[in-house]
Chains A and B, each alone.
Chain A
Amino acid sequence: MNDSAVAEHTEHENRPELRHHFADVEQQRNAASLGMWWFLGTEIMFFGGMFCGYLIYRRVYFPEFAVASRSLSLWIGTFNTTVLICSSLTVVMAVRAAQLGKRMLQVKMLLLTLLFGLAFLGIKGYEWREKYVEHHIPTFADYNVIRGEGSLIKGDNAKFLGLDKLQGDPVKLREREAEIQQRTKIFYSLYFALTGMHALHMVVGVGIFTVITIMAWRGKFTPEYHTPLEIAGLYWHFVDIVWIYLFPLLYLIDRRPGA
């Protein structure tokens, strides 16, 4: 065997985490990292299609999208965003702890991450339930944004939607109300599709991080090798960033003081 082959063989013996087809740990780490970045690229394209559809409909149906957006709870959304950002912080701290070789700190940070992630999902579930109570679920027969608890045409909204001008003409009023029902339905369809897809990615993330936490607990991560933690962290940050785009797009369309 030549010299480089000897060196390779030694490294493979000393580093059990080094897989056979890689020459050295550095190459393995680079490959894993590049792989995760490209995968996140595909995720951007995946969400991108839905974002594209959303942006088009928002442009053409702006008033209806705006009032539907206002029906989402700004405070809960903001709080959830904070929770998710904190979870990204704890991920970073877990990676740092791994770099410093601190096993217990890793585990604590990872558990906090899981906690934040689950909290996010729980709060999301609560928000969805709110939509259910207000009859804003687009696929249900009782979908109603005109009358009842989920009415979106009260107060200033009526003016915003052009309903005040139609008060004298019951036929036209009915038509406009039907239109508002339809168009807000599209908003909610996209809302559930986008947040649902995001939540699905969060669930996968929680699953991945559960495994990572167990691995950390077992001491698998050292300052020299913590690649799985790093790339899982990349994934988590990405899911966080998707939310950071979703939040203003869905919740902040046209917030005015007092609305």
Chain B
Amino acid sequence: MATTAVTVERKNYINAEYGIRSWLFTTDHKRIALLYLVSITAMFFVGGFFALLIRLELLTPAGDLLLADTYNKMFSMHGQVMVFFFLVPSIPATLGNFLIPMMIGAKDLAFPRINLLSWYIYIAAALLYLFCIITGGVDTGWTFYTPYSSLFSNTHVVEAGLAIFIAGFSSILTGLNFVVTIHRMRAPGMTWSRLPLFVWAHYATSIIMLLGTPVIAITLVLVVLERTLNLGIFDPSRGGDPVLFQHLFWFYSHPAVYIMILPSMGIISEIVTCYSRKRAFGYTAIAISSIAIAVIGFLVWAHHMFVAGISLYSALVFSFLSYLVAVPSAIKVFNWTATMYKGSVSFSTPMLYAMGFIGLFTIGGLTGLFLACLGIDVHVHDTYFVIAHFHYVMVGGAVLGYLGGIHFWWPKITGRLYPEGWGRTAAIIVFIGFNLTFFPQFILGYLGMPRRYWDYSHMPEWQALNVLSTAGASILAVGYLLPMVYLFWSLRYGKLAGDNPWSATGLEWQTASPPPTFNFDETPIVTCEAYEYDKMPLPEEVNLER
């Protein structure tokens, strides 16, 4: 592989050009990744603000902080912002955009201008959604169920629906770019079986983005049309069927959860191998599991509808298929754990996040088994059990992976090292805060506390668990804010990282930190498998900061 010497003032993608126009009109995938990073972080805090208000309201049984309508808007917008404007784009548009071309030895993605377009589409969508929030918000729940959303809600359903519709195109174009890039732009010698698992994960994710997102697009269009033109497609009093909406909605929204978790799983593969100094145990199994999750994930949507009025036999089929989709995820967890076996493990910040991911994703995934189980789901559906489950996989899983990835590749992106002590502290705070927030919700759910309840004054016995949950949320908030502080700090005061501070495998580490605009001085020629850690120098020899 080509190597480059480190000099102090070399040209990289950050200092190649200056000025706002060079950023707003860039076609460099790395700059676009940073544009996304900033926007997505902003939306994360918008969604987080709504979560804060939810948890504050639920401290007391009575609805004494917000009006009922306001609370209903809070949980609806928290969900919509977090799903569509944070989780779905987060890893693919930031780390995926930044790393995929480098990982495969390419100079850029296949369609750089479409990449920039996808960011502008995201911004347009986010602005429209912010407009929706400012002018009064939406209160349909993140799921927009009809006929409430199409006929009864008095809130800005049209703006919200259109904003998410537009954001969907950002997603589709990102997925399109990744698929074509991975197929057509691999460097000589970079065969499919030598691809980093991060790339495999994004390939699977992109397939879901491409095939699933258009369905939510048309579904939201139909809701918007129904509201504006009074069509009646989902209105039973005019011969329509509200459950049809649910099928169309979940046909995308279930695969969407795999869009949200697969990239994170890709990150974990990279981190666990690096900090165990070992190749991945079961590389092929992990790669194929990603594809299996993507494919089977399209077949299970109605497990969200077991009590919605579907037939008994449909329910049996969907429950059965839902158990099938759990197997590839389990396979991954076992393989990551086995990767640590006889490795040389260090507990760096990214590794702490990865270990946290494995544990919390296991819990989240296991509780998914409860929900796929027909007999149990009837009891816990639409209760806090479901909320706990999906936060375990989305936050304990996807967000922890995202944070781990940001830390792992921070030196590559910025050329700086973050302070390791702070990193580990924040990771532990996030882990503790998260569990305290969401574990009590499993219990609340089984006790029967329904979702989306503004007021529970008739059930004061639920307060204790709610207080625990809110307390946890405050700790979690600290855990989220800390990286904002020290990562920013490191931009100016962090130690210079050098090309490969972790002594990691992967083409991205073979080029400078930060990389030059066209990634490599010469197109690399690949001759070895992924994760050949036996050929890498030990980290101590690469000035690794302890």
Rounded to whole angstroms, the CA-CA distance of A52 and B244 in the bound complex is 10
Q: Which of A23-31, A154-162, A165-173, A208-216 lies at the interface with chain B?
A: A23-31
Given contacts A35-B111, A42-B210, A186-B240, contact A27 B217 (CB under 8 A): no
Given contacts A35-B180, A189-B232, contact A41 B211 (CB under 8 A): yes
The answer on a CB contact under 8 Å between B225 and A182 is: no
Q: Which residues on B sit within 8 Å (CB–CB) of A5?
A: 522-523
B112, B172, B181, B232: which contacts A185 (Cβ < 8 A)?
A: B232
Q: Which A49-84 residues have a C-beta within 8 angstroms of B?
A: 49-50, 52-53, 56-57, 61
Tell me if B222 counts as interface (CB < 8 A to partner A): yes
CA distance A47 to B218 in the complex (A): 7
B107 interfacial by beta-carbon distance below 8 Å: yes
B218 touches A42 (CB 8 A): no
Q: Which residues does chain A contribute within 8 Å of B518, judged by CB atoms?
A: 20-21
Question: B337 contacts which chain A residues (CB < 8 A)?
Answer: none
CB contacts (< 8 Å) of A8 on chain B: these are 523
With an 8 A cutoff between CB atoms, is B326 at the interface? no
Residues in A neighbouring B184, C-beta threshold 8 A: 27, 30-31, 34
A42 lies within 8 A of B222 (CB): no
Answer whether A189 and B239 are a contact pair too, CB < 8 Å, given A35-B111, A53-B222: no
Residue of A19, A27, A31, A185 touching B238 (CB-CB under 8 A) = A185
User: Which A residues are CB-close (under 8 A) to B218?
Assistant: 46-50
Please, what's the 1-or-0 string for B179-190, where 1 marks a CB less than 8 Å from any CB in chain A? 111011100100
Taking the closest CB of chain A, its distance from the CB of B27, in whole angstroms, is 9
B194-219 to A contact mask, C-beta < 8 Å, 1/0: 00000000000000001111110111
A34 and B180 contact, CB distance less than 8 A? yes
Q: Which residues of the other chain, B, contact A259 by a CB distance below 8 angstroms? A: none
When chains A and B are docked, how far (Å) is the Cα of A2 from the Cα of B520? 13
Which chain B residue has the least Cβ–Cβ distance from A193?
B225
Residues on B with beta carbons closer than 8 Å to the beta carbon of A46: 214-215, 217-218
Which residues of the partner chain A approach B496 to less than 8 Å between Cβ atoms? none
Q: Which residues of A contact B183 (CB under 8 A)?
A: 31, 34
CB distance from B269 to the nearest CB of A (A): 25
Partner of A61, one of B176, B239, B251: B239
Contact of A35 among B110, B211, B212 (CB under 8 A): B110
Chain B residues with CB under 8 Å of A39's CB are 172, 176
B215 contacts A31, CB within 8 Å?
no
Complex contact B176–A53 (CB within 8 A): no
Q: Binary interface profile of B, 221-238, with partner A (CB < 8 Å = 1, else 0)?
A: 010010001111100001
In the complex, B499 has a CB within 8 A of chain A: no
Across the interface, do B232 and A49 meet the contact criterion of CB distance under 8 Å?
no
Please tell me if the beta carbons of B233 and A189 are within 8 angstroms of each other in the complex. Answer: yes
Give chain B nearest CB distance to A72 CB in angstroms.
18
Known interface pairs A21-B108, A50-B218, A193-B225; A38-B230 also in contact (CB < 8 Å): no
Contact status A4-B179, CB under 8 Å: no
Q: In the complex, what distance in Å separates the CA atom of A19 from the CA atom of B115?
A: 15
Cβ of B265 to closest chain A Cβ, rounded Å: 23
Residues of B within 8 Å of A31, CB to CB, are: 110-111, 180-181, 183-185
Using known A-B contacts A31-B180, A35-B111, A53-B248, determine if residue A185 contacts B219 with beta carbons closer than 8 Å: no
Of the candidates B172, B230, B238, the one whose C-beta lies within 8 Å of that of A186 is B238
> Pick the contact of B230 from A48, A56, A139 — CB < 8 Å?
A139
Known: A21-B108, A27-B184, A189-B231. A38 touches B215 (CB 8 A): no
Q: Which of B101, B180, B231 contacts A138 (CB 8 A)?
A: B231
- Closest approach, in angstroms, between the C-beta of A148 and any C-beta of chain B? 20
Chain A residues with Cβ under 8 A from B523's Cβ? 4-5, 8, 23
Chain A residues near B214 (CB-CB < 8 A): 42-46, 48-49
Instruction: Give residues 119-153 of A contacting B (CB, 8 Å).
Output: 138-139
Pick from A8, A22, A53, A190 the residue with the most CB of B within 10 Å.
A53
Chain A residues, CB < 8 A from B106: 21
Residues from chain A with a CB closer than 8 A to the CB of B108 are: 20-21
B229–A139 touching, CB < 8 Å: yes
Indicate if the CB atoms of B107 and A20 lie closer than 8 Å: yes
Residues of B near A35 (CB, < 8 A) are 110-111, 176-177, 180
A45–B212 CB distance below 8 A? yes
CB distance from B171 to the nearest CB of A (A): 10
The answer to whether A182 touches B238, judged by C-beta atoms less than 8 angstroms apart, is yes
B223 to chain A, nearest CB (A): 12
Q: What residues of chain B lie closer than 8 Å to A164, measured between beta carbons?
A: none
Q: How far is the CA of A4 from the CA of B187 in the complex (A)?
A: 12
Contacts of B101 in A (CB 8 A): 21
Residues of A near B210 (CB, < 8 A) are 38, 41-42, 45
A194-224: CB near B (< 8 Å → 1, else 0) gives 0000000000000000000000000000000
Which residue in A38, A43, A52 is a CB contact (below 8 Å) of B180?
A: A38
Whether A1 pairs with B225 at a CB distance below 8 angstroms is no
Known: A47-B218, A186-B239. A34 touches B225 (CB 8 A): no
A179 on interface, CB distance cutoff 8 Å: yes
Chain A residue numbers with a CB within 8 Å of B172 are: 39, 42
Whole-angstrom distance between the Cβ of A47 and the nearest chain B Cβ: 7
- Considering the chains assembled together, what is the distance between the CA atoms of A20 and B113 in angstroms? 12
- A56:B522 contact, CB within 8 angstroms: no
B358 shortest CB reach to chain A, Å: 33
Residues of A within 8 A of B181 (CB): 31
Which one of B109, B222, B251 contacts A193 once the chains associate, using CB atoms below 8 Å?
B222
Complex Cα–Cα for A140 and B176 (A): 40
Q: Contacts of A53 on B, CB cut-off 8 Å?
A: 222, 233, 244, 248
The answer to whether B239 and A49 have CB atoms under 8 Å apart is no
Chain B nearest CB, measured from A2 CB (Å): 6
Chain B residue nearest in CB terms to A29: B184
Residue of B nearest to A35 (CB): B180
Q: Give the shortest distance, in Å, between A29 (CB) and chain B (any CB).
A: 10
Q: Write the nearest CB–CB distance from A187 to chain B, whole angstroms.
A: 10
Q: Complex: how many Å from CA A46 to CA B523?
A: 38
Do B211 and A45 have beta carbons less than 8 Å apart? yes
Contact (Cβ within 8 A) B185 A27? yes
CB distance from B521 to the nearest CB of A (A): 9
What 0/1 readout, one digit per residue, does chain A (1-19) give for beta carbons within 8 Å of chain B? 1101100100000000001
Kindly list chain B residues whose C-beta atoms are within 8 Å of the C-beta of A193: 222, 225, 231
Report the Cα distance A39→B179, complex, angstroms.
11
The verdict on A21 contacting B213 (CB below 8 Å), with A38-B179, A189-B233 known, is no
Can you show 6 pairs from A to B with CB atoms below 8 A apart? A4-B523, A31-B111, A39-B172, A49-B251, A139-B230, A186-B232
Residues of B within 8 A of A (CB): 101, 106-112, 172, 176-177, 179-181, 183-185, 188, 210-215, 217-219, 222, 225, 229-233, 238-241, 244, 248, 251, 518, 522-523
Please list the residues of chain A having a beta carbon within 8 angstroms of any beta carbon in chain B: 1-2, 4-5, 8, 19-23, 27, 30-31, 34-35, 38-39, 41-50, 52-53, 56-57, 61, 138-139, 179, 182-183, 185-186, 189-190, 193
